[in-house]
Amino acid sequence: MEQPILETKALRFCYDDGEEPSPVVLDGVDLQIEEGSFVAVLGHNGSGKSTLAKHLNAILLPSGGQVYVAGMDTADEDKLLEIRRTVGMVFQNPDNQIVANVVEEDVAFAPENLGVPSEEIRRRVDEALKAVGMYEYREHAPHLLSGGQKQRVAIAGVIAMQPRCIVLDEPTAMLDPIGRAEVLKTIKTLNRTSKVTVVLITHHMDEAAQADRLVVMSKGKVIADGVPKEVFCQVEELKAVGLTVPETTELLWELRQAGVDVPLDALSDEECARTLYNLLRKGRST
């Protein structure tokens, strides 16, 4: 790998309130994230996902170890602005991220603060709104939009800063299924067409399954890391840390438990259906 866009080295963190000894929330996290990749981070509540996310653009600084953004140590105060320009963050609640009364003003807010010239801002705002499919809503009031639309406006606001990487912390958690699908499609397009590195924190298996790489966290540690197909095959390990697996994997796993010889790695509905079809055909011909 060339220089990774994000790297954590033996990252350790505790929320130290200065009084009682506080528990370790991140416990030796070593991750290298390749520029242009789409990485999903999965883990049950309290496993440290949000804490990790906040280390990726210096909202939090390590208690031990290092975090590098495009080679810049997040503990280096002189680099803070450039780190924040490199990694954009999107959070769970779109209402907390919208600051203006008109969609396009909202998207312009961050680049304005960065001192981008106004013609350039105009161009970036239009481009960002088109990228998330919200251009026709540019003159609308954000508070009248659906959750999915608001979240896409929030993503446009981040895109307008032209970051190399976007970290999204459960961006679909508060959305209905339609909003979730809109947001996920937007994220995937951004990664595929604009080559923006995406780190998507989620507790939805189906979203995680669409990433290039899946990192699973439990109790502040990375317990699995690989392409989703491989990671989801580790059914027992995932269940042991309180996670479920996609329905397709679950079905094949149950069949295997019952002694049927099927592969576990048919993750998409189509692959799973084909696997079952082949199984039934084989059964008939013997």
Ligand X SMILES: Nc1ncnc2c1ncn2[C@@H]1O[C@H](COP(=O)(O)OP(=O)(O)O)[C@@H](O)[C@H]1O
Note the residues at the interface with Mg ion (CB under 5 A).
49-50
Q: Does 46 bind ligand X (CB under 6 A)?
A: yes
Secondary structure element (H or E) that encloses residue 68, with its range? strand 64-69
Give the length of the chain: 286
Which residue's Cβ has the minimum distance to Mg ion?
50
Interacting residue with ligand X among 48, 62, 142, 157 (CB under 6 A): 48
Least distance to ligand X from the beta carbon of 59, Å?
11
Interacting residue with ligand X among 43, 62, 94, 163 (CB under 6 A): 43
Which residue number, 4 or 43, has a Cβ lying nearer to ligand X? 43
Q: Which residues pair with 82 in a beta bridge?
A: none
Interacting residue with ligand X among 8, 37, 47, 186 (CB under 6 A): 47
Q: Which does 172 bind (CB under 5 to 8 A by kind): Mg ion, ligand X, none?
A: none
Q: Does 202 bind ligand X (CB under 6 A)?
A: no
Q: Does 51 bind ligand X (CB under 6 A)?
A: yes
Total binding residues for ligand X by CB under 6 A? 10
Q: In degrees rounded to 5, what are phi and psi of residue 175?
A: -105, 155
- Alpha-carbon span 188 to 50, nearest angstrom: 21
Q: Which does 43 bind (CB under 5 to 8 A by kind): ligand X, Mg ion, none?
A: ligand X
Q: Does 25 bind ligand X (CB under 6 A)?
A: yes
Of 226, 32, 259, residue with least CA distance to 279: 259
Give residues with Cβ within 8 angstroms of 89, minimum separation 6. 53, 56, 57, 59, 158, 166, 167, 168, 169
Q: Is the backbone of residue 211 left (phi > 0), alpha (psi -120 to 50) or beta? A: beta
Least distance to Mg ion from the beta carbon of 50, Å?
3
Least distance to Mg ion from the beta carbon of 41, Å?
10
- Determine contact, residues 242/236, Cβ cutoff 8 Å: no
Interacting residue with ligand X among 1, 3, 10, 15 (CB under 6 A): 15
- Cβ burial 169-206 (10 Å sphere, 16+ → b, else e): bbbbebbeeebbebbbebbbebbeeeebbbbbbbbbbe
Which residue number, 26 or 184, has a Cβ lying nearer to ligand X? 26
Q: Is the backbone of residue 35 left (phi > 0), alpha (psi -120 to 50) or beta? A: beta
Of 173, 180, 184, 191, residue with least CA distance to 50: 173
Interacting residue with ligand X among 45, 96, 193, 257 (CB under 6 A): 45
Return the range that interacts with ligand X (CB under 6 A); candidates 39-47, 85-93, 124-132, 230-238.
39-47
Q: Does 49 bind ligand X (CB under 6 A)?
A: yes
Q: Does 94 bind ligand X (CB under 6 A)?
A: no
Return the range that interacts with ligand X (CB under 6 A); candidates 47-55, 122-130, 248-256, 268-276.
47-55
Q: Which does 148 bind (CB under 5 to 8 A by kind): Mg ion, ligand X, none?
A: none
- Determine contact, residues 85/149, Cβ cutoff 8 Å: no
CA distances from 179 to 12, 16, 79, 125, 172 (A): 35, 37, 35, 22, 7
Q: Which does 46 bind (CB under 5 to 8 A by kind): Mg ion, ligand X, none?
A: ligand X
Binding residues (CB under 6 A) for ligand X: these are 15, 25, 43, 45-51
